[in-house]
Chains A and B, each alone.
Chain A
Amino acid sequence: MRRPILAALSAALLLAGAPVAAAKTLVFCSEGNPESLNPQLVTSATGIDAGRPMFDYLVEFKPGTTQLEPALAESWTISEDGRTYTFRLRDNVQFQSNDAFAPTRPLTSEDVVFSLERQWKPDHPFHSVGNSRFDYFTDIGMGELLESIEAPDERTVRIRLTRPEAPFLADLALPFNSIMSAEYAAAMMKAGTPGRVDTQPIGTGPFRLDSYMPEVAVRFRAFEGHWRGRPAIDTLVFSITPTPAARLTKLKSGECHVSAFPSPADAAQIEADPRLRLLKENGFNVGYLALNTSRPPFDDVRVRRALNYAIDKDAIIQAVFSGMATAAKNPMPPTLWGYDDEIQPYPYDPAAARRLFEEAGLTGGVSADLWYIPISRPYSPDSKRIASMIADDLETLGVRVDLKTQDWNTYRESLMQGEPDAALYGWTGDTADPDNFMSTLLSCTAARVGGNNIARWCDKRFDALVTEAKSIPDQERRTFLYKQAQRIFHDEAPWVPIAHSLFLVAIRKEVANFTIDPRGYHDFSRVDLLGGN
């Protein structure tokens, strides 16, 4: 025990003479506190970003693309009926360690089974640990999809589905399918601290968790034993900085190297700064105003349509997005296959809106809550301002709007509980599959309490279409089905789709190998710093 400490000491002493920071520390100015560090438990990009450095998946997207490539599974086969997936695991993949745990074995099929079954099976010993809820897993319908998960040997995992599922492989690259350590879970259960599995996760990813200090930072260290080799940087810090202006200031002064969600209003300024780069990508996102269809006044489709006419999206895009967005008409981004561009958007037509209100008998004025997002999101850089502009627009219809918000995690929670009458929200797709929008956000499954269907909109026709589209591999047919579904969505107007924003990341010039992720995440697994800090 003493020898390594001394070795570490002497190594450190050699470094002690050097000036500040010979170690490479990359600082990411993130926008908020992650709701959890376990990707199984999160749905927000903030939480997904925070969990991502620690984990790997069976398969993953090639950086910057939506193409899949082998990760922890070095190969796989799919049965002819499209229902059985057999994965061959990579050999000798090491898990990280922490103060409470040191792994005794490399990755095995047991870990994969644990990671999936925890979310899937209600009787799994870890299913209810820490009042966990696996919303993403549930919303995407994984529970119904899975039939069995088997581990014939240490390096083989066989998953059988109840039906063929086109996006299944892509689903396995989603954050909630991070591969956890079954050994760690068992050790923590034995130690009586099963909750540590979520608060101090152990994975096989390029970084291991050092510490998480809410409101201050999440700190990661390079994991020396990563199967792809140690990452180029030594320390990765998520410096939690909710104020966009402060993030920009810190980026400019070099206090951070990468800034999440720069304000589109500052885009010009960033592009003009020789020390900085602004990365732009058409995001897989949609920002929208969800109207709660389960109760008045938005249970009336005429009212919902009136809102679609009444809201001046262009003004919003100009004022709030500084033009870094396109107006939305469908629930999924135009960059995704299956997008129906033939749909005519509701124009800005206050008179039409007024007519519809008259039809609906709402001439006597109406009042409604309008919730806005407390932090900046790519699909909503200044939600409060959008809400204000919408309130101004609705004022002409005699609608008295009460603006409301809560802190980010509570906000999401409240939305999923169906609390607001109307709420600004948005979604960034995790996969290049329309299903990730259509099904995740608008299916009847997601309309449950706690589900992602904020509008609580359950349309049987729509649901049938997206469910069918999901189960067939034929993209053409699926496109057809999704287009039909988009028409239903347009007619029924559960949302006012607002914008598809550009996904922006501001980085300093010395940051190398940072690839912008169209899904709106920040991936640091390959990042390096040039010329030191």
Chain B
Amino acid sequence: MRLEPAAFGRRAFVLPHLFEDMQTAAGVARLSIANRIFLVGAIPILVATIIGIASVFLLNQADDGRRGALVVSSVYRNVVAAMSSRDAYVEAQPSDRGRHMAAFEASFVGAYKGLNTLGQTVDELAATDAIASTTASLQRYRAAMGELGVATEKNDKLVADMNKRLATLIDYTDEARARQHASNMDVVTTLKERDESLRRAQDLTVAAEAARASMADLALERAAIGSSGLLAERAATFETVRLDNAVNRYAEKLEAAGLRDEASAFRGTYRSFLSGGGHEALLGWVDRRLKIDGTAVRALHDQLGELLAYTVQANETEQATQNIAIETLKLGQSMSRAVATRSIPGIETVIGDSRDLGDEIAALPISPLIQTEMLDALNLWREALVVMKDRLAEQNAVLMRMNETAGIMIFEVSSLNNSLSRDADEVSERVRLILIGGAAIALLAASICGILVARSITKPLKRLERGMIDRAANPNAGPLVDSGRRDEIGLMARATNYFLAELGKRESALTSAKEHTEKTLEELKKTQSELIQAEKLASLGQLVAGVAHEINTPLGVALTTATVVGEEARHFRDEVAGGRVTREAFDSFVERMNEGARLINANLERSAHLVQSFKQVAADQASGERRSFRMDAFADELFTSLGPMNKRAGHQISVECDPGLEMVSYPGALAQVLTNLLSNAYVHAFAGREGGQVAVRITSRGPGWVRVQFSDNGRGIPPRDRPRIFDPFFTTGRGSGSTGLGLHIVFNLVTATLGGTIEVDSQPGRGTRFVIDLPTEAPEPQPPFDEAA
């Protein structure tokens, strides 16, 4: 603390060089420690700021990309909706098509708008091209849909017309059947008529044959008359009556058959036969009739046979006509199916079937009146079907084209989506890389800087330490070499030199240092870490000063004693030479010599011990090494080193330590903690009074832990200040030159470096007690970064 004025006195001219010096790497070495530390602190901040700005810019870009991807996905949705609308349109009933067309239109407009929006927001060249090509595909798709719509409408009309035509064909079929049926009835009537004629002809034939038989019998009887006389004549008369009956019956039959002329001609012939004519005329007449009617019977039989065959055929035709109606209905169904599934082979099959049906119709003896119309209707229907087939083929081509376009479109939209998402991801990735990479680089840079800076600080410090130790042993070794440096080490070296030179004028230097301290205090507040470091170093200096002073006393005693012993010896030699040596005097001389030797010895031993203690403490302080030590020896050495502080105002310090406490820790840090606490007690607790008592009690606190209780009986800490005592720059003794960093450093060292806890317990007017709990094994060495801090 007494070094502070010297430490910061030159700061005013160091700072302006900071930025100039930063321009070259070599300049770093010439920077002050404060600037170096500032540099170490500034690099991460600067890098972080740059990273931040870059990240914000890039993240904005990524957001744009993601918004674009969102729009693209809505475009995609719309495109897919348009495609399914198209499918629905194609599969729908004609009456429903309008609805699907409207849905398609809506989806198209949605997709088109989406693409437009995208085109306006995205300005990446590749994406703009992709959007333009997707828009073109979309328009192509819509144009094809337009074509399809027109074609489908035409087709629907054609299908409706064809169905009408088919219905007409069925009507024709029905009529054909009705006609056939009527015709069949007519045929049956004709059949009855012919049957009646046949029966009449048969009656005539039978009657004619009976008459002929009678004639033959009569002729036989007459031929017999000549030979057998009266009896035969009687029989002939009987036969004549028989013939008369037969002739009359036959004539009646002829009349009944409507052959009145024939009947009267027959009767005339018969009369002339009765009046004695020959039988040949009558017989010839009957034979002629028999020939006519007999052949008529045969002819009518044949006709009836033909008519029956015709009737059977006609009935078959009626049945077949019905079948044609059924086939026609089936044809209509097949067509509907084929058209619905847009199957060209299906339609070809239907065309073939309709041809077969046409052949079937043509091959049937259907009413020719209807047959022609049926064939015409079927032919026209088939021609329409051929047209339909071609149209469907065209439509299928359009559909295929649309599918291809849709495939391309989906692909384009997906790639657009992918590309935009990828851009966004890439940007994010870049941001992440920048963040991680930047952080890593910043960390690395800061670490390297830190290491370099720490080295640039610790090396000269060690050298300084060695120099100081050398000078402690040999004050005449000359000034420290580092005094030429422009940084704090140089200051320290110079201060040490000064200290060495001005050892005797400590008090007055302190006074003058105080003035400097006050002046630099304001700046001190601005450079926190610098000051902490400075404080650490200052405590080292304080230590050195104390040690120097302490050594001085025993050396002086030893020197004085040696002088006295020398005097005594010369005096005794004179006495012996003078022979005035008495036994008593001799004994007394020996006694004094003994005493003198013991005294010299004791003081020299003490000096050696002091130097030894200081050496360890200073080494610890300077190196910050983690090592194992015994707590009691450490406490003894430390407080021995700090002895001079006690004596200054007659304060008493009692140290009690449980024996055998083995520590693996940072003795330097622990030493500084205790030094600062002690210093704090002397400066604040015992401010303005003397004979203060400090009790340090070090006890084991279970395995692995020790407790250091540091108590004073000073004025205590007012309750309102108690929460803030560990805050940096909090001090009640600003006026007396306190920095307000002592307890802050204590707190930091205990909690961070030593891995322990510190609590304070204070009652105003009755003293303060710090309780520090420490692990016997301190945490592993901290990174150089922290150590440097």
- Please name all residues of chain B whose beta carbon is closer than 8 Å to the beta carbon of A255 when the two chains form the complex: 179, 183, 367-369
Q: A16-B161, A16-B164, A20-B175 are in contact. Are A5 and B387 (CB under 8 A)?
A: yes
Contact of A312 among B179, B194, B288, B390 (CB under 8 A): B288
Say how far B593's CB is from chain A's closest CB, in angstroms. Answer: 150
- CA gap between A241 and B298 in the complex, in Å: 21
- CA gap between A122 and B605 in the complex, in Å: 166
- Please name all residues of chain B whose beta carbon is closer than 8 Å to the beta carbon of A253 when the two chains form the complex: 179, 182-183, 186
| Stretch touching chain B among A90-98, A104-112, A381-389, A420-428 | A381-389
- CA gap between A217 and B307 in the complex, in Å: 19
Mark B335-372 against chain A: 1 for CB-CB distance below 8 A, else 0.
Answer: 00000000000000000000000000011110111111
- Please name all residues of chain A whose beta carbon is closer than 8 Å to the beta carbon of B168 when the two chains form the complex: 16
Say how far A49's CB is from chain B's closest CB, in angstroms. Answer: 15
| Stretch touching chain A among B94-102, B289-297, B742-750, B753-761 | B289-297
Mark A235-255 against chain B: 1 for CB-CB distance below 8 A, else 0.
Answer: 101011011111011101111
Whether, in the assembled complex, A533 has its beta carbon less than 8 Å from a beta carbon of chain B, the answer is: yes
Is B380 in contact with A12, judged by CB distance below 8 angstroms?
Answer: yes
- Chain A residue nearest in CB terms to B290: A392
- Please name all residues of chain A whose beta carbon is closer than 8 Å to the beta carbon of B172 when the two chains form the complex: 20
- CA gap between A389 and B190 in the complex, in Å: 25
- Please name all residues of chain A whose beta carbon is closer than 8 Å to the beta carbon of B372 when the two chains form the complex: 23, 25, 219, 235, 237
- Please name all residues of chain A whose beta carbon is closer than 8 Å to the beta carbon of B298 when the two chains form the complex: 384-385, 388
Is A392 in contact with B373, judged by CB distance below 8 angstroms?
Answer: no
Q: Which of B359-397 contact A (CB under 8 A)?
A: 362-365, 367-373, 375-376, 380, 383-384, 386-387, 390
Is B373 in contact with A20, judged by CB distance below 8 angstroms?
Answer: yes
Whether, in the assembled complex, B609 has its beta carbon less than 8 Å from a beta carbon of chain A, the answer is: no
- CA gap between A211 and B358 in the complex, in Å: 12
Is B373 in contact with A25, judged by CB distance below 8 angstroms?
Answer: yes
Whether, in the assembled complex, A89 has its beta carbon less than 8 Å from a beta carbon of chain B, the answer is: no
Say how far A99's CB is from chain B's closest CB, in angstroms. Answer: 12
Contact of B299 among A248, A252, A384 (CB under 8 A): A384
Q: Which of A392-425 contact B (CB under 8 A)?
A: 392-393
Mark A473-503 against chain B: 1 for CB-CB distance below 8 A, else 0.
Answer: 0000000000000000000000000000000
Q: A16-B164, A248-B190 are in contact. Are A315 and B291 (CB under 8 A)?
A: yes
- CA gap between A384 and B301 in the complex, in Å: 12
Whether, in the assembled complex, B133 has its beta carbon less than 8 Å from a beta carbon of chain A, the answer is: no
Whether, in the assembled complex, A27 has its beta carbon less than 8 Å from a beta carbon of chain B, the answer is: yes
Whether, in the assembled complex, A260 has its beta carbon less than 8 Å from a beta carbon of chain B, the answer is: no
Whether, in the assembled complex, A9 has its beta carbon less than 8 Å from a beta carbon of chain B, the answer is: yes
Whether, in the assembled complex, A182 has its beta carbon less than 8 Å from a beta carbon of chain B, the answer is: no
- Chain B residue nearest in CB terms to A221: B372
Whether, in the assembled complex, A68 has its beta carbon less than 8 Å from a beta carbon of chain B, the answer is: no
Say how far A268's CB is from chain B's closest CB, in angstroms. Answer: 10
Whether, in the assembled complex, A216 has its beta carbon less than 8 Å from a beta carbon of chain B, the answer is: yes
- CA gap between A12 and B378 in the complex, in Å: 11
- Please name all residues of chain A whose beta carbon is closer than 8 Å to the beta carbon of B387 when the two chains form the complex: 2, 5-6, 9
Contact of B291 among A235, A242, A312 (CB under 8 A): A312
- CA gap between A140 and B298 in the complex, in Å: 38
- Please name all residues of chain A whose beta carbon is closer than 8 Å to the beta carbon of B375 when the two chains form the complex: 219
Say how far B376's CB is from chain A's closest CB, in angstroms. Answer: 8
Is B383 in contact with A8, judged by CB distance below 8 angstroms?
Answer: yes
Whether, in the assembled complex, B302 has its beta carbon less than 8 Å from a beta carbon of chain A, the answer is: yes
Whether, in the assembled complex, B306 has its beta carbon less than 8 Å from a beta carbon of chain A, the answer is: yes
Is B296 in contact with A217, judged by CB distance below 8 angstroms?
Answer: no
Contact of A250 among B161, B165, B183, B194 (CB under 8 A): B183
Q: A20-B370, A213-B363 are in contact. Are A9 and B380 (CB under 8 A)?
A: yes
- CA gap between A245 and B383 in the complex, in Å: 39
- CA gap between A242 and B373 in the complex, in Å: 24
Whether, in the assembled complex, B225 has its beta carbon less than 8 Å from a beta carbon of chain A, the answer is: no
Say how far B202's CB is from chain A's closest CB, in angstroms. Answer: 15
- Chain A residue nearest in CB terms to B291: A392
- Please name all residues of chain A whose beta carbon is closer than 8 Å to the beta carbon of B306 when the two chains form the complex: 242-243, 245-246
Whether, in the assembled complex, B310 has its beta carbon less than 8 Å from a beta carbon of chain A, the answer is: yes
Whether, in the assembled complex, B303 has its beta carbon less than 8 Å from a beta carbon of chain A, the answer is: yes
Say how far A532's CB is from chain B's closest CB, in angstroms. Answer: 11
- Chain A residue nearest in CB terms to B299: A385
Main secondary structure of the interface of B (DSSP, over half): helix
Is B380 in contact with A8, judged by CB distance below 8 angstroms?
Answer: yes
Whether, in the assembled complex, A318 has its beta carbon less than 8 Å from a beta carbon of chain B, the answer is: yes
Whether, in the assembled complex, A319 has its beta carbon less than 8 Å from a beta carbon of chain B, the answer is: yes
- CA gap between A242 and B171 in the complex, in Å: 29
- Please name all residues of chain A whose beta carbon is closer than 8 Å to the beta carbon of B408 when the two chains form the complex: none
Mark A5-36 against chain B: 1 for CB-CB distance below 8 A, else 0.
Answer: 11011001100110011010101000000000
Is B365 in contact with A239, judged by CB distance below 8 angstroms?
Answer: yes
- CA gap between A55 and B172 in the complex, in Å: 32
Say how far B588's CB is from chain A's closest CB, in angstroms. Answer: 157
- Chain B residue nearest in CB terms to A235: B372
Whether, in the assembled complex, A41 has its beta carbon less than 8 Å from a beta carbon of chain B, the answer is: no
- CA gap between A286 and B186 in the complex, in Å: 34
Contact of A13 among B161, B179, B291, B292 (CB under 8 A): B161
Mark B232-268 against chain A: 1 for CB-CB distance below 8 A, else 0.
Answer: 0000000000000000000000000000000000000
Say how far B334's CB is from chain A's closest CB, in angstroms. Answer: 20
Q: A243-B306, A389-B291 are in contact. Are A249 and B383 (CB under 8 A)?
A: no
- CA gap between A21 and B370 in the complex, in Å: 7
Contact of B384 among A9, A211, A215, A219 (CB under 8 A): A9
Q: Which of B161, B189, B299 has the most CB of A within 10 A?
A: B299
Is B362 in contact with A216, judged by CB distance below 8 angstroms?
Answer: yes
Whether, in the assembled complex, A161 has its beta carbon less than 8 Å from a beta carbon of chain B, the answer is: no
- Please name all residues of chain A whose beta carbon is closer than 8 Å to the beta carbon of B331 when the two chains form the complex: none
Q: Which of B274-328 contact A (CB under 8 A)?
A: 288, 291-292, 294-296, 298-299, 302-303, 306-307, 309-310
Q: Which of A5, A12, A213, A237 has the most CB of B within 10 A?
A: A12
Is A217 in contact with B373, judged by CB distance below 8 angstroms?
Answer: no
Whether, in the assembled complex, A59 has its beta carbon less than 8 Å from a beta carbon of chain B, the answer is: no
Say how far B324's CB is from chain A's closest CB, in angstroms. Answer: 14
Whether, in the assembled complex, B187 has its beta carbon less than 8 Å from a beta carbon of chain A, the answer is: yes
Q: A249-B187, A253-B186 are in contact. Are A533 and B380 (CB under 8 A)?
A: no
Is B182 in contact with A216, judged by CB distance below 8 angstroms?
Answer: no
- CA gap between A433 and B503 in the complex, in Å: 179
- Please name all residues of chain A whose beta carbon is closer than 8 Å to the beta carbon of B161 when the two chains form the complex: 9, 13, 16
Q: A20-B171, A216-B364, A533-B369 are in contact. Are A252 and B186 (CB under 8 A)?
A: yes
- CA gap between A372 and B182 in the complex, in Å: 34
Is B187 in contact with A9, judged by CB distance below 8 angstroms?
Answer: no
Whether, in the assembled complex, A113 has its beta carbon less than 8 Å from a beta carbon of chain B, the answer is: no
- Please name all residues of chain B whose beta carbon is closer than 8 Å to the beta carbon of A243 when the two chains form the complex: 303, 306-307, 309-310
- CA gap between A217 and B367 in the complex, in Å: 10
- Chain B residue nearest in CB terms to A21: B373
Whether, in the assembled complex, A256 has its beta carbon less than 8 Å from a beta carbon of chain B, the answer is: yes
Say how far A487's CB is from chain B's closest CB, in angstroms. Answer: 30
- Please name all residues of chain A whose beta carbon is closer than 8 Å to the beta carbon of B310 when the two chains form the complex: 243, 245-246
- 8 nearest CB pairs, A to B: A237-B368, A388-B295, A385-B299, A319-B292, A27-B368, A239-B368, A392-B291, A243-B306
Known A-B contacts: A20-B175, A244-B303. Give 20 more (CB < 8 A): A2-B390, A12-B376, A25-B369, A25-B372, A215-B365, A239-B365, A243-B309, A245-B194, A245-B303, A246-B307, A253-B179, A253-B186, A255-B367, A256-B368, A312-B288, A319-B292, A319-B296, A388-B299, A393-B291, A533-B369
Q: What would 17 A/B residue contacts be, using CB atoms closer than 8 Å? A: A2-B387, A5-B387, A9-B387, A13-B165, A16-B161, A25-B368, A237-B368, A237-B369, A243-B309, A245-B194, A245-B310, A250-B186, A312-B291, A315-B292, A382-B299, A392-B294, A533-B369
Residue ranges of B at the interface with A (Cβ–Cβ < 8 Å): 161, 164-165, 168, 171-172, 175, 179, 182-183, 186-187, 189-190, 194, 288, 291-292, 294-296, 298-299, 302-303, 306-307, 309-310, 362-365, 367-373, 375-376, 380, 383-384, 386-387, 390
